[in-house]
C-alpha cells in the first residue's frame, strides 16, 4: 500500500530550519541503512530517523529523503539492512553521510543484506509499506532477522555525533 498526504505550508511560520533546530535537541542513535545495488554491491546511508513500530509482528520504520539515492534503490529493492552503530563507529557514520570518503567501512553480507561490521545491532528487513510524507518517504519494514552485541551506542544530538559515555550533562 502507498499513501500520499498533502501538507499545506505552515501558517505559523515554522520553517524547516526552525524545525531542525528544535528537533535536533532530541538525542537519537545513529544507523546505517544498506540497500543492494544491481551490480551486487551495496549502497549505504546514515540515518537517525529510525524507530521500532511493532513487536508483533516485528516492524520498523525508516524515513528517507525523496531526492536520495537510497529512496530510489528502495523503490526497486524490498530487502535492506539496518546497522545500529556503536560508539567507536563515528567514521562509518561520517562515510555514509557523505562527509568523508577516506576509508570505506567493512560490510558483511548474508542472504543479500549487508551490515556494517562491528555494529551494536543488525536488522535484516523487507519493505511492507511506504508512505509519502512531505519531502521524505516513510518505509515500514518487517524484521526478518536480528543480531546484537552489548556495548555503547553512537549518539546524534544538535548536529554532533558523540559516544553516549562522553555526552555532556545538562
Q: For residue 163, list its beta bridge partners.
A: 154
Specify whether the CB–CB gap between 116 and 106 falls below 8 A.
yes
Q: Is the pLDDT of residue 3 over 70?
A: no
| Residue spans of beta strands (DSSP E) within 85-169 | 107-110, 113-116, 121-133, 136-148, 154-157, 160-163
Q: Could you tell me the CA-to-CA distances from 6 to 73, 74, 130, 131, 136 in Å, in that order? A: 24, 22, 15, 11, 12
What pLDDT score was predicted for residue 170?
A: 44
Domain ranges of the chain: 31-152
Question: So what CATH class is 31-152?
Answer: mainly beta
**What is the C-alpha separation between 4 and 121, in angstroms, rounded?**
31
For residue 33, is pLDDT > 70?
yes
Q: Where residue 14 falls among pLDDT bands split at 50, 70, 90?
A: confident
Average pLDDT in the 145-168 region? 77
Return the pLDDT at 162: 66
Above 90 in pLDDT, residue 71? Answer: yes
Check whether 8 has a pLDDT greater than 60. no
Match 545513529 to its residue by C-alpha cell.
Answer: 30
pLDDT digits (tens, 9 = 90+) for 73-107: 999 989 999 999 999 998 899 899 887 666 677 78
What pLDDT, on a 0 to 100 scale, did the predictor assign at position 17? 77
Give the pairing of strands 154-157 and 160-163: antiparallel
What value does the mean pLDDT take over residues 99-120?
A: 82
Q: Give the range with max mean pLDDT: 4-13, 110-119, 128-137, 158-167.
A: 128-137
Across the chain, mean pLDDT equals 85
Q: How does DSSP classify residue 10?
A: P
Amino acid at each position: 500500500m502507498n499513501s500520499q498526504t498533502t501538507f499545506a505550508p505552515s501558517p505559523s511560520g515554522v520553517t524547516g530550519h526552525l524545525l531542525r533546530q528544535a528537533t535536533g535537541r532530541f538525542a537519537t542513535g545513529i544507523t546505517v541503512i544498506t540497500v543492494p545495488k544491481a551490480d551486487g554491491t551495496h549502497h549505504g546511508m546514515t540515518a537517525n530517523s529510525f524507530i521500532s513500530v511493532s513487536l508483533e509482528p516485528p516492524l520498523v520504520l525508516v524515513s528517507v529523503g525523496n531526492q536520495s539515492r537510497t529512496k530510489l534503490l528502495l523503490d526497486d529493492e524490498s530487502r535492506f539492512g539496518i546497522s545500529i552503530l556503536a560508539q567507536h563507529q563515528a567514521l562509518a557514520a561520517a562515510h555514509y553521510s557523505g562527509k568523508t570518503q577516506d576509508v570505506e567501512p567493512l560490510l558483511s553480507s548474508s542472504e543479500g543484506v549487508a551490515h556494517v561490521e562491528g555494529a551494536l545491532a543488525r536488522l535484516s528487513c523487507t519493505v511492507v509499506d511506504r508512505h509519502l510524507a512531505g519531502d521524505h518517504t516513510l518505509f515500514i519494514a518487517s524484521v526478518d532477522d536480528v543480531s546484537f552485541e552489548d556495548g555503547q551506542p553512537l549518539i546524534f544530538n544538535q548536529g554532533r555525533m558523540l559516544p553516549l559515555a562522553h555526552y555532556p550533562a545538562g
